[in-house]
Amino acid sequence: MGASSRVDVGFRSERGPILVALMLATALVALESTILATAVPTIVADLGGFTQFPWLFSSYLLTQAVLVPVYGKLSDLYGRKPMLLFGIGVFAFGSVLCALAWSMPALIAFRALQGLGAGAVLPMAQTIAGDIYTVAERAKAQGYLASVWGMSAIVGPAVGGLFADFLSWRWIFWVNVPLCALAAWVLLRSFHENNRGGAARPVDWAGAATLAAGAALLILGLLEGGQSWGWTSAPSLGIFAAGFAFLALFAWIETRAPEPILPLWVLTRRVLVTTSIVSCLVGAVVLGLTSYVPSFVQGSLGTTAVVAGFTLATMTIGWPIAAAQSGRLYLRIGFRNTGLVGAVPLVTGAILLTRVGSGSSAWHVAGCCVLIGLGMGLIASPALIAAQSSVGWAERGVVTGANAFARALGSAVGVAVFGALANASLARSGVADDAVVPDPQQLADSISAVFGAVLVAALALVVAVSVIPRRFASGAAGSAADAEAD
């Protein structure tokens, strides 16, 4: 289905059912990112394995990230619809196994399987939106998809708590099954692809395997370094060395593969490199806020978990509002200038966030998150759309996958950097033992160091936006609006 010339992006338009299917698919992953956290105490009480529960999140994030570029390339070869349906199916199967898990190691393994499905769902939803909407319409479409994250940030923790308290934590996973069925049914009925990769072409399985292995080891080292093992320990050095070795082998394979899984031209085109750097830094900033804002609001300001959750949700509310309106800007002033406009609220919010302390109010933090969310909406969505607009249909999947992978890598780097800063601050305060609970001031000081790093990442993000090319060639499948947007 090619891009339509119509400007109507609403649910009642001809493409409305497809948009609903994409939002449902996105909701699967978005809810899973927020609904589980509030049920962790109940899961641990039932299955045991307190020291292992962080892997419930790490295993999911790891497998979700490593295959994103592979799914992107396969969608260019075989179509978006089969890949999205495959991802939904794997996610549903993983959810059923999670609901039936009998131990913490089993649940961790089944969460990894869920992540394999989620790795196809998100980039495919974004790619299909890029396929069926023109550049003039994509901002509003991406705004709809981004709004799912805002709703999930509010609904997820509450639903997870209700399931854990009044039913069973297993319902957190059972509820995914009807959602998966509904998303797949709507997609099958409403989305009919005309574009395909053409004649059958060989799949670069060697490249896919080495890329997945290298990325998995690299992200694993970043996620667990400084926590499960020291940064300079033998396990850490060995993991990073093996990861870089696999990536070097991957690069060698790609120069010889007739149909590379991640073509090296992705790393040579300026618009793709700069927008991937933007996505990487977006991942770091978002990770810093989602990981530490709730802890700060609850632990240092003394609020409830509900208030802490809603404080963070203000970012994911402001984001889709700005993303949906960004199209009006980038059609007039271009992608780069739209991102620079977004830099104003982003940097302002990040600066104000460094000023919070144990005597601040939750409203102060929420206001900072709103500003940062507005800035992100004017930066992240236009950057993705710029990358998509620079290529045709046959390359859009791999470009979107590479962009999503960059964001996942940025999140992993953020975990490592922000965690190291927080732990170093706590150590200086005399809190060197994990069993010791820091007091509100010690916690505020440690998280203030993280907020300072978020400001540095925000400033680096502005620099990355400023070097996005003002003009670039539009993809062969692009509309006339593609050229006008630059």
**pLDDT attached to residue 432:** 55
CATH of the domain at 385: 1.20.1250.20
Q: Are residues 149 and 274 in the same domain?
A: no
What stretches of 36-67 show up as alpha helix (H) in DSSP?
40-47, 55-66
Q: Are residues 246 and 332 in the same domain?
A: no
- Domain annotation covers residue 5: yes
- Domain annotation covers residue 415: yes
Q: Is the pTM of this model over 0.85?
A: no
Q: Are residues 216 and 114 in the same domain?
A: no
Q: Are residues 158 and 272 in the same domain?
A: no
User: Which two structure tokens, joined as six digits, stand for 55?
Assistant: 């892997």
**pLDDT attached to residue 53:** 63
Are the C-beta atoms of residues 290 and 312 closer than 8 Å to each other? yes
What sign results for the dihedral spanned by CA atoms 119, 121, 123, 124? Answer: positive
**pLDDT attached to residue 460:** 94
Query: 278 vs 130, 215, 289, 356, 438, CA distance in Å?
Result: 18, 19, 17, 26, 34
Domain-ending residue, one of 260, 280, 297: 260
- Domain annotation covers residue 276: yes
Q: Are residues 366 and 481 in the same domain?
A: yes
- Domain annotation covers residue 298: yes
What 3-state DSSP class applies to 3?
Answer: coil
**pLDDT attached to residue 476:** 43
- End-to-end Cα distance, the chain: 25
Candidates 53, 56, 49, 51; CA nearest to 33 is 56
Distance, CA of 30 to CA of 46 (rounded, Å): 25
Are the C-beta atoms of residues 365 and 296 closer than 8 Å to each other? yes
Burial class (CB in 10 A: 0-12, 13-18, 19+), 54: middle
User: Which two structure tokens, joined as six digits, stand for 74?
Assistant: 């396969």
Q: Are residues 250 and 275 in the same domain?
A: no
**pLDDT attached to residue 396:** 81
**pLDDT attached to residue 459:** 94
Map 190-240 to HEC letters. Answer: HCCCCCCCCCCCCCCHHHHHHHHHHHHHHHHHHHHECCCECCCCHHHHHHH
CA-based angle 220:410:160, to the nearest 5?
75
**pLDDT attached to residue 455:** 93
**pLDDT attached to residue 486:** 39
- Domain annotation covers residue 139: yes
Number of domains in the chain: 3
Q: Are residues 122 and 164 in the same domain?
A: yes
Q: Are residues 306 and 361 in the same domain?
A: yes
- Domain annotation covers residue 170: yes
Q: Are residues 303 and 239 in the same domain?
A: no
Q: What is the mean pLDDT of each run of 10 residues along the chain (486 residues)?
A: 47 73 85 71 72 71 81 82 91 93 88 89 85 77 77 72 76 88 87 62 80 84 74 86 91 83 81 90 84 77 72 77 80 87 92 84 87 89 85 80 84 78 74 59 81 92 89 49 37
* Those residues with Cβ within 8 angstroms of residue 266's Cβ, 6 or more apart along the chain or in another chain: 272, 276, 398, 399, 402
What's the domain range around 310? 264-486
Query: 262 vs 71, 87, 145, 244, CA distance in Å?
Result: 10, 19, 25, 16
Q: Are residues 219 and 269 in the same domain?
A: no
Distance, CA of 325 to CA of 342 (rounded, Å): 12
Q: Are residues 357 and 416 in the same domain?
A: yes
Strand partners, 66: none
Candidates 397, 278, 280; CA nearest to 338 is 278
Tokens 């977004």 map to which residue? 342
- Domain annotation covers residue 199: no
**pLDDT attached to residue 458:** 92
Which amino acid is present at 459? L
Candidates 283, 303, 222, 213; CA nearest to 250 is 213
**pLDDT attached to residue 436:** 52
Q: Are residues 348 and 372 in the same domain?
A: yes
